[in-house]
Amino acid sequence: MLTVKTIPELRKARMGLPSPVGLVPTMGFLHHGHLSLVKKAVEECASVVVSIFVNPTQFGPQEDFGSYPRDIPKDLELLERLNVALVWIPETGEMYPSGFQTWVEVDSLSRRLEGDMRPGHFKGVATVVTKLFTAVQPEKAYFGQKDAQQSVIINRLVLDLNLPVEVVICPIMREDDGLAMSSRNVYLNPDQRIAAAVLYRALNVAKQEFQNGENDAERLREIMLETIHAEPLAAFQYVSCANPETMEEHSGSFERILLSMAVKFGNIRLIDNLVIGK
Amino acid sequence: MLTVKTIPELRKARMGLPSPVGLVPTMGFLHHGHLSLVKKAVEECASVVVSIFVNPTQFGPQEDFGSYPRDIPKDLELLERLNVALVWIPETGEMYPSGFQTWVEVDSLSRRLEGDMRPGHFKGVATVVTKLFTAVQPEKAYFGQKDAQQSVIINRLVLDLNLPVEVVICPIMREDDGLAMSSRNVYLNPDQRIAAAVLYRALNVAKQEFQNGENDAERLREIMLETIHAEPLAAFQYVSCANPETMEEHSGSFERILLSMAVKFGNIRLIDNLVIGK
């Protein structure tokens, strides 16, 4: 496994990799969710590249860029075991050189849900993902369904900019109690950690009601909200039943819908989602 | 010479082209300026691709998208003679499919001069050029110095987005009286056509004064403006002495500067520029 920092080093190493090349973009502090993406990539591709970059431009000024967890030595140890060909760990100045001023933005999809809560977040994501793709030039790229809206945005970006890459979205990995795996879970204190299972519980209560015949989006939002409210340590930011393609909030009956939510435990913000219906 | 319309057709044809591949992006209605880019590309590359696409997103609502001159049969005839391998003529719906919403924007460089006069123009240019690059995947791409600010913006875009393409900027081609070649020149009536030589004349008066020792940017702007004012059919939009890298308007003395201007003759808007100094 080779580790590189700069784009010229990356390009040189990339040239020697057998095709198809799969890219797994990460912000490091790898957990089983990331590793499931890497395993999938190793299964499907002749060579796998993992990038580790905590991208400053997708964090808001009040967000946790500074305190986002990092552990490169442990990340490398985990990747070493998985038959990864190349790990790219760029410095911030490599990705955003002096005078940097070019941004990629996916318009309306970026304004809803997470984008509404985190202005500029998806502009940072779209820009860095474009750069990761143009630098690595992978045939396939792997992202997690955990960031459901991000997945839709990246698919749109790839289509709109004719990027020659196939985007593969992998299922959410969960702890035993259903909590979606996230690098940020490490910051939950023991009580918050227990309480955090409420996100998945709320999604499942809504799913159960749907399976029992409840088909009104407004009613499902209420059901999820009631479940969140019953957990004293949880403060919801939003609870959504949205069109899974457009991310527009839905009202009335539906065939297929994206249930999603953002919930805070103290300063720690968690998200989760579930697609229900056909 | 092969002509293709869709991106899948383009990709298939591209695969068979010997490297390096040079791209000359155009809006068609080709003149000697375009052809000088094509000739340069043919000299330097094993295969040359020319794209012809009048890009709607770089025209403002009050601009001349509808009336922009088009003559594909003549364009193809001209290119046929120049050893061009592939001509790509996409439909608007191919470049901007239903639901298109991803934009590339080069921030501060796009706000000055032409960008100030034509809001959104460089957002359309940056987006379409990114798409032309990702679709064709050329090793080299050729643009004209006629659009000086566009050249700087495209260089910035390529650097910022790590696009694996070398940008080559080619000199302005001029008519006998110095008028910079432009597809829009065809719309000048005979009097306007004669008057239009004033742009190059103004640039040269400033250059002459500079060579005589005048080194104050403000004074050079005045000199160019006086020359334009002396031509009754010409209505200036701006006259500029700007930093050739940042496009910021300059004041005081300088070592190297971009003289540029936009001047209207009736509804026809012409631009021209000259870099002076070291």
Tell me the pLDDT tens digit for each residue of A180-235: 999 999 999 999 999 999 999 999 999 999 999 999 999 999 999 999 999 999 99
Tell if the CB–CB gap between A102 and B99 is shorter than 8 Å.
no
**Per-residue model confidence as pLDDT tens for chain B (278 residues):** 999 999 999 999 999 999 999 999 999 999 999 999 999 999 999 999 999 999 999 999 999 999 999 999 999 999 999 999 999 999 999 999 999 999 999 999 999 999 999 999 999 999 999 999 999 999 999 999 999 999 999 999 999 999 999 999 999 999 999 999 999 999 999 999 999 999 999 999 999 999 999 999 999 999 999 999 999 999 999 999 999 999 999 999 999 999 999 999 999 999 999 999 98
Task: Report how far residue A202's alpha carbon sits from residue A146's, in angstroms, rounded to the nearest whole number.
Answer: 16
CATH superfamily of the domain spanning A2-170: HUPs (3.40.50.620)
> In chain A, which residues fall in CATH 3.30.1300.10?
183-273
| Residue among A101, A104, A131 whose CB faces B109 most closely | A101
Whether residue A244 is preceded by a cis peptide bond, meaning omega within 30 degrees of 0, is no
Predicted confidence (pLDDT) per residue in A97-133, tens digit: 999 999 999 999 999 999 999 999 999 999 999 999 9
| Residue among A7, A102, A105 whose CB faces B157 most closely | A102
**What's residue A3's pLDDT?**
98
ipTM of this complex > 0.85? yes
> In chain B, which residues fall in CATH 3.40.50.620?
2-170
Three-state SS for chain B is CEEECCHHHHHHHHHCCCCCEEEEEECCCCCHHHHHHHHHHHHHCCEEEEEECCCHHHCCCCCCCCCCCCCHHHHHHHHHCCCCCEEECCCHHHHCCCCCCEEEEECHHHCCHHHHHCCCHHHHHHHHHHHHHHHHCCCEEEEECCCHHHHHHHHHHHHHCCCCCEEEEECCCECCCCCECCHHHHHCCHHHHHHCCHHHHHHHHHHHHHHCCCCCHHHHHHHHHHHHHCCCCCEEEEEEEECCCCCCECCCCCCEEEEEEEEEECCEEEEEEEEEEC
For testing contact with chain B, the best of A162, A243, A248 (most B CBs within 10 A): A162
Q: Which are the contacts of A16, defined by CB distance < 8 A and separation ≥ 6?
A: none
Tell if the CB–CB gap between B106 and A102 is shorter than 8 Å.
yes
Predicted confidence (pLDDT) per residue in A228-272, tens digit: 999 999 999 999 999 999 999 999 999 999 999 999 999 999 999
Burial class from Cβ neighbours inside 10 Å (0-12, 13-18, 19+) for residue B127 reads buried
Tell if the CB–CB gap between B162 and A99 is shorter than 8 Å.
no
Classified by CATH at the fold level, domain A183-273 comes out as: Pantoate--beta-alanine Ligase; Chain: A,domain 2 (3.30.1300)
Predicted confidence (pLDDT) per residue in A136-172, tens digit: 999 999 999 999 999 999 999 999 999 999 999 999 9
Residues in A touching B98 (Cβ below 8 Å): none
Classified by CATH at the fold level, domain B183-277 comes out as: Pantoate--beta-alanine Ligase; Chain: A,domain 2 (3.30.1300)
Question: Which residue, among B246, B248, B221, has the nearest Cα to B236 in the 3D structure?
Answer: B221
Tell if the CB–CB gap between B164 and A137 is shorter than 8 Å.
yes
Would you say A203 and A258 are in contact if contact means Cβ atoms under 8 Å apart? Answer: no
Q: Which are the contacts of B227, defined by CB distance < 8 A and separation ≥ 6?
A: B198, B201, B202, B205
What is the least distance, in Å, from the CA of A63 to any CA of chain B?
Answer: 24
**What's residue B272's pLDDT?**
98
Token pair for residue A204?
A: 């499942």
Say if strands A102-106 and A256-265 run parallel, antiparallel, or are unpaired: unpaired
Tell if the CB–CB gap between A160 and B126 is shorter than 8 Å.
no
Question: Is B121 a catalytic site residue?
Answer: no
**What's residue B53's pLDDT?**
98
| Residue among B100, B135, B161 whose CB faces A102 most closely | B161
> In chain B, which residues fall in CATH 3.30.1300.10?
183-277
Task: Report how far residue A66's alpha carbon sits from residue B248's, in angstroms, rounded to the nearest whole number.
Answer: 34
Residues in A touching B93 (Cβ below 8 Å): none
Tell if the CB–CB gap between A131 and B99 is shorter than 8 Å.
no
Among all residues of A, which ones are annotated catalytic?
34
For residue A100, what is the nearest residue in chain B, using CA coordinates? Answer: B160
For testing contact with chain A, the best of B102, B110, B129, B166 (most A CBs within 10 A): B102
